[in-house]
Structure 1
Amino acid sequence: MGITEQLVKFRTTEVPEEAAAMMRLSLFDWAACGIAGAAEAEFAPFRRAQMVEEGPAHIFGGDAGGAAVAALVNGTLSHALDYDDTHFAHIGHPSVAVLPAVVAVAETMDIALTDAIDAATVGVEGSILTGLWLGRAHYQVGYHQTATAGAFGAALATARLLGLDKGQTRHALGLCASMASGIKAQFGTMAKPLNAGLAARTGVETALWAQAGMTAAPDGLAGPLGFGETHHGEGAEVKLPRKDWQISSISHKFHACCHGLHAMLEALGDAGIEAERIEAVKIRTHPRWMSVCNIAEPKTGLEVKFSYRHTAAMTLSGHSTGAISSFSDEIARDKDVCALREKIDVVEDANLSETQSLVTLTLTSGEVRRLRHDLLAPVSLEVRSAKLRTKVLELLGEPRATTLWNAAIGTDLDAVTACFQGT
């Protein structure tokens, strides 16, 4: 069965309780990132420029608009801080593409939060499966999986919410094949989060167009001259989940920077060594991260989020990488951090997986310490929940963090979107 047939079949599947529970944690995390992202001054002009259409779908910061506009803005703002979840199997940020589409459409239809969670779970799983099918070649050549595979996941989730039949869902995916886009050249700029917003909007629009009767190629995703063939897709074999869903291995961020840095930062978190005792640092990482988050000498706070050397120097100097405020233009120029940065080398190591990092610290005393971390090390839902609540508390403060948590684990979607109001 081809990828398109699998996705069409998957739209009505029953969602396991554990997968839905993980999706609720991602809803909580995504909403917090969006609320915090709306406070970023540099995105205010973009946000205002979209407010030309009235509608029922709430937008981070306090406005409301039509479903497509809300999906675009919320997808962009929730990825603005690059603090949202990641799935390493398909190299993408699934929630920022799928959840904005689901929440916006669910609001227009007055759908219960439980049903929205199920739709989002199916959409996220669909985006991961699509990403796996496209394969590493698609990403390595320069496409941003959050935007490409994410758009198909958003379309699938929206198709489920709208109750589209098999033919309509196929057309929605076919229309999406003409719309899905996003390139890695945008990394480190405001256009990277825009990629997520565009994917969410594409999911909403293509499903609504299909519902209205618009048709597309029989298989625009996997057919001849389709999306996969023309976008360096590998056409890898994928199978629909049975017991274990891909969403169960989603990775949430606990550092406010590119996820490629997190294994290194988690390893350094256990170092407990004063900066002045450090003679040299060698960071080993998977080769693919070398072109993603290895800006050697970042000039801005945004560039710092994509720099092994600078974030390592920050951590070793005692700066919190879990705080959004740490990633400022000032930290990029901090003399002490920049001086320590010059002692740090980053090398690729194909023997490591994409979720692993190995750090070697050489101290002035001659002592050598080796630290290792793997982001795929199992984390229970309870531990993950506690870490996310701590993260959101730092992002939003009390009582907003608690209010959002109670809404995310409840049944009322309105309670969640009521939290979107600005500070």
Structure 2
Amino acid sequence: MNAPVKPIRSASPRTDVTAALVEGAGRIGYDQLPAPVVAATKRVLLDTLAVAWAAGDAAGVNAARALALRGAAGHASLWGHSGTRREPSAAAFFNGTLAAALDFDSLAGQVHADIVVAPAALAVAEQQRRSGRELIAALATGNELAIRLAAAMRTNRGFFHTSITGIFGATLAASRLRGLDASRTHDALGIALCQAGGTQQSHVEQRLTKRLQSAFAARDGVIAADLAALGITGPRAALEGPFGLFALFETGDPEQVLEGFGTRYLLEDTTLKRFPACGCSHAALQAAGELVARHGIGADDLERGEIVITPYMDRLVGGAFAPGANPQVAGQFNVRYGVAAILLRGSFGLPDITPEAVLDPAIRPIVNRLSVRVDETRTGTFAPADVIIETRDGRRLHHRVENLPGSPQAPLPEEEIYAKLVGSFTHGPSALTEARAEALIQRIERLEGVDDIATLFDQAR
């Protein structure tokens, strides 16, 4: 007979963190959101939609689409598929897959909150015929919760924080849009705990399940709200309990989630990605691009090169370049490939993560002349990174990037953000015309004026 399991003590002595969170979220409506938070919420939603729209032919998307289409018709749009609607959990799963597939989506702290929250919130908002103002409030509170949960964690044992925190943000947003009262929202967050999961093993093995984990969380957030609406009860101490999120997944301080909740918004510091690759590569990619632009070098000039990164970055992008099974994922999660692509082609964008580009025979010799060195003294997640190039004519060129490109410390220019939006909406099998892309961008920029979210994508059809 197994010995009884001893409860793990919560990092927080407070026993009502989840209840206080529900109460605080209930006081936040559109009118309580500061103007910069509204603007940030719309900007992140636009970025999420754009990179999802571009992902129609990414590996794994066809399987996600086939699964979604098996379900019953409903009221929630499958992004990029004119007139095709399914019930919300199926739509959230498919759209969550799209949003993550190109690894071009936004970063908030260490999590990709919106690729979980937006697919869930939009699907429920369409079903419930909610307004743009209601959607903005749900997105803001849902994203903020996911970001705060991750920020309060003190360890990173290998769980995929986007999934294990994102499901709570998706559940909160879906519960708001379903019109659940505080008690049932509280239950929904408990139901979310019972479904939470996600692992970085998919990252290190470069498997397609990496891009499905946010989709699972988006889908399950919708289901958690649905079950609570039907009367299913869930644990009440989902965050702070002896077997809650912080006790079982990552250690941290649940009370920190409440500090400034509703008055200070971490989502305002969301990073918009410059490159379609894991954020752990971006500082190195930026450094390589700076060297190419400054010194006019290319692949033919390379004698050897070294990329210096942190231990955490090495865990996700420092491994061997093995593109055979999943070329696109390998290209997105290998820093040597990314730097090699910049040396060979002068830049790193959506064309560089196609299977054809990753499997280009010209890339392997360049990758082989690049090495990765881990600086154990560095503790950063996404920066700093150094790229050192030794040229055939004897020069030694070095550049360091201290901050993640697109972050508040190194923001992208407005024209680059707009170019990314238009370029993504007009890319791939679901490509919009430039005029329709611009019309959709303008509609979301004026989202608070939309009376019925079910009409949101009319310009794209």
Q: TM-score, length-normalised on structure 2?
A: 0.83
Residue deviations 1:152-173 (CA, integer Å, cap 9, x gap): 0111112222333332222111
Superposed, 1:97-176 pairs within 5 Å as: 97-133=116-152, 135-137=153-155, 140-176=156-192
Measure the CA separation in 2 of the matches of 1:76 and 1:330.
22
Superposed, 1:337-416 pairs within 5 Å as: 337-349=363-375, 350-351=377-378, 353-356=380-383, 357-373=385-401, 374-375=403-404, 376-378=407-409, 384-397=413-426, 398-410=434-446, 411-412=449-450, 413-416=453-456
Matched, 1:329 2:355: yes
* Structure whose CA Rg is larger: 2
- One-letter amino acid of the structure 1 residue matched with residue 150 of structure 2: G
2:225 is aligned, of 207, 223, 227, to: 207
- Judge conservation of contact 1:72–1:197 (CA < 8 Å) in 2: yes
Secondary structure at 2:101 match in 1: coil
Measure the CA separation in 1 of the matches of 2:388 and 2:264.
35
Measure the CA separation in 2 of the matches of 1:419 and 1:256.
26
- One-letter amino acid of the structure 2 residue matched with residue 64 of structure 1: R
- Judge conservation of contact 1:155–1:207 (CA < 8 Å) in 2: yes
Superposed, 1:268-287 pairs within 5 Å as: 268-271=288-291, 272=293, 273-287=297-311
Secondary structure at 1:7 match in 2: helix
Q: Which moved more, 1:354-363 or 1:286-295?
A: 354-363
Residue deviations 1:103-148 (CA, integer Å, cap 9, x gap): 0111112111122012101100100111123x252xx322111111
- Judge conservation of contact 2:158–2:200 (CA < 8 Å) in 1: yes
- Judge conservation of contact 2:352–2:358 (CA < 8 Å) in 1: no
Measure the CA separation in 2 of the matches of 1:367 and 1:40.
39
Residue 385 of structure 1: how far off its partner (Å):
4.1
2:48 is aligned, of 30, 33, 37, to: 30
Q: TM-score, length-normalised on structure 1?
A: 0.91
Superposed, 1:35-74 pairs within 5 Å as: 35-40=53-58, 42-51=60-69, 52-60=71-79, 61-62=81-82, 63-74=84-95
Root-mean-square deviation over aligned CA pairs: 2.2
Measure the CA separation in 2 of the matches of 1:347 and 1:44.
37
- Judge conservation of contact 1:295–1:304 (CA < 8 Å) in 2: no
How many pairs align?
Answer: 413
- One-letter amino acid of the structure 1 residue matched with residue 420 of structure 2: K
Mark the runs of 5 or more structure 2 residues left unpaired by the alignment.
1-13, 427-433
Residue 260 of structure 2 is matched in structure 1 by 240
- One-letter amino acid of the structure 1 residue matched with residue 396 of structure 2: V
- Judge conservation of contact 2:154–2:250 (CA < 8 Å) in 1: no
Residue deviations 1:51-108 (CA, integer Å, cap 9, x gap): 22111111122310111111111111211222111123xx221111000111011111
Residue 415 of structure 1: how far off its partner (Å):
5.0
Secondary structure at 2:185 match in 1: helix
Residue 223 of structure 1 is matched in structure 2 by 241
Mark the runs of 5 or more structure 1 residues left unpaired by the alignment.
none
